[in-house]
Amino acid sequence: MPWFWYFAPMLSLSKARLSRSFAAIVIALALSVSTVPDVVASPPKADLKQVEEKVRDLELEADAAGEQWNEARHKLAKVNARISTLTNNSKRASTKFKRLQNDFSKLIVGLYQQGTIDLELQALFSSNPKNYMAQLSAVDFVGSRQIIAMRDLERASISLKNTKTLLKAEQLKSKQLVKEADRHLKMARSKLAEASRLLNTLKAEQRRKYLARIKAKQKKQSAKAKKLRKRAGNLAANRRVKIAIRFALSMVGHRYIFGAAGPTVFDCSGLTMAAYRKAGVYLPHYSRAQISATRPVSRGNLRVGDLVFFFKYGIRHVGMYIGGNRFVHAENSRTGVIISSLSESYYASHLSGFGRVVG
């Protein structure tokens, strides 16, 4: 009998015990798992008030980016105007230079035909006119007429070179401003897209309440603006301010669009620009440029029609004062043209100053 047969019963017993132990462990685990309650991570509920505040911040940031876009476009328009002027100046300078160069060439040929200039100097003119004129001016036979012609040609050459240098610099600036304007517009649109995504986190009922509240506010604002038009107009200091304030109030409830200045859609500086344009006064389409175009006034001296500026903490915004601590403005793409109070916490914290339109 082989020796390992003596251990066979023991091995069989151990195997059986192991099988029973393993089965017991599996059953215990199964029971413990079945008794653990299911835990499913549910998404946090969107708080309507918090979402509204965040959406408003994003839309006002979008308005600020839109105003930076207006700034870049404002600068670009000035640069392009200079480019146009420099291009015309360059053409005139080039025409003048070619004419003087042609006249001077005829003068040199005449001197050569008279035998007063050798071929070496004439060849030098064709390769390096500036050095040639410097040498020629030292020659005794050159009279006042020739010297005047040389100096005219040299001045024309310098003018042409300077004009081309300035033109090149402005063209480079123009390209940079186009990129800057595009960057700000993309930023404005991305802020609006973020606001839309945030609104989509609301439940259908919350979103319905939110939109209904905005619609009711706009309706109420339009009715208020209608009443204020006559009252604010009567408080205006002059006819132009009366026209501007009545126009701005008549636009309450109209839409906000980046870069718009009427006739029925606006951004913040576009509304103030359009209102005063109606009164025959020009304002640039950019809030920071508008503050430069107005005369600063204190809060205690505020009048109907004065502009109200908000530049703190990166915001760029402008509205028109209508009396009673209120102002009319194109706020953002969701609320459009509305009436707000200077006491509202957001505007009170971003208020920068006031300006009176002169004209």
294 sits in which H/E element = strand 294-297
Spatial CB neighbours of 63, under 8 Å, sequence gap ≥ 6: 188, 256, 267, 268, 315, 316, 317, 331, 332
185 and 97 in one domain? yes
Q: Are 283 and 345 in contact (CB under 8 A)?
A: no
pLDDT tens digits for range 227-255 = 888 787 777 878 999 999 999 999 999 99
- Residues 318, 187, single domain; the answer is no
Q: Report if residue 266 sits inside a domain.
A: yes
Is 350 an active-site residue?
no
Residue 82 covered by a domain? yes
pLDDT at 199: 84
Radius of gyration of the chain from its Cα atoms, rounded to whole angstroms = 39
pLDDT band at 10 (very low <50, low <70, confident <90, very high): very low
How does residue 208 score in pLDDT terms, banded at 50, 70 and 90?
Answer: confident
Kindly report the backbone phi and psi dihedral angles of residue 271, in degrees, each rounded to the nearest multiple of 5, phi listed first. Answer: -70, -50
Average pLDDT for the chain: 80
Position 273 in a domain: yes
Q: What is the pLDDT of residues 126-135, one digit of tens each?
A: 555 555 555 5
pLDDT score at 243: 94
Per-residue pLDDT band for 45 (boundaries 50, 70, 90) equals low
Catalytic residue among 74, 268, 285, 350: 268
Known catalytic residue at 285: no
Q: Is 181 helix (H, G, I), strand (E, B) or coil?
A: helix
Task: Judge if 184 and 241 occupy the same domain.
Answer: no
Given a cut of 70, is residue 334 above it in pLDDT?
A: yes
Q: CA of 102: how far to CAs of 23, 98, 106, 108, 109, in Å?
A: 111, 6, 6, 10, 11
Among the listed residues 271, 244, 275, 247, the one whose alpha carbon sits nearest the alpha carbon of residue 257: 271
DSSP 133: H
- The amino acid sitting at 139 is V
Instruction: At 96, list the tokens.
Output: 């003048």
Contacting residues for 232 by C-beta, under 8 A, at least 6 apart:
245, 246, 249, 304, 322, 323
Active-site hit among 74, 184, 317, 350: 317
For residues 235 and 126, membership in a common domain is answered with: no
* 282/232: higher pLDDT: 282
Q: Are residues 237 and 174 in the same domain?
A: no
Residue at which a domain ends, from 199, 233, 257: 199
Pair 256, 295 in one domain: yes
Angle at 168 between CA 284 and CA 102, to 5 degrees: 120
161: containing domain: 49-199
Whether omega for the bond prior to residue 263 falls within 30 degrees of 0, making it cis, is yes
CATH number, residue 261? 3.90.1720.10
Strands 351-357, 336-341: pairing is unpaired
How many structural domains does the chain have?
2
What's the Cα-to-Cα distance from 176 to each of 73, 136, 190, 265, 288, rounded to whole Å? Answer: 11, 45, 21, 29, 20
Residue 214 forms part of a structural domain? no
**Last residue within a domain, chosen from 156, 184, 199:** 199
Which is nearest to 311 in space by CA: 71, 7, 114? 71
157 and 66 within one domain? yes
Backbone angles phi, psi at 351, to 5 degrees: -60, 135
Are residues 171 and 53 located together in one domain of the fold?
yes
pLDDT surpasses 70 at 211: yes
Domain boundary among 143, 166, 199: 199
Distance CA 230, CA 245 (A): 10
184 in the same domain as 111: yes
> Tens digits of per-residue pLDDT, 103-112?
877 776 776 6
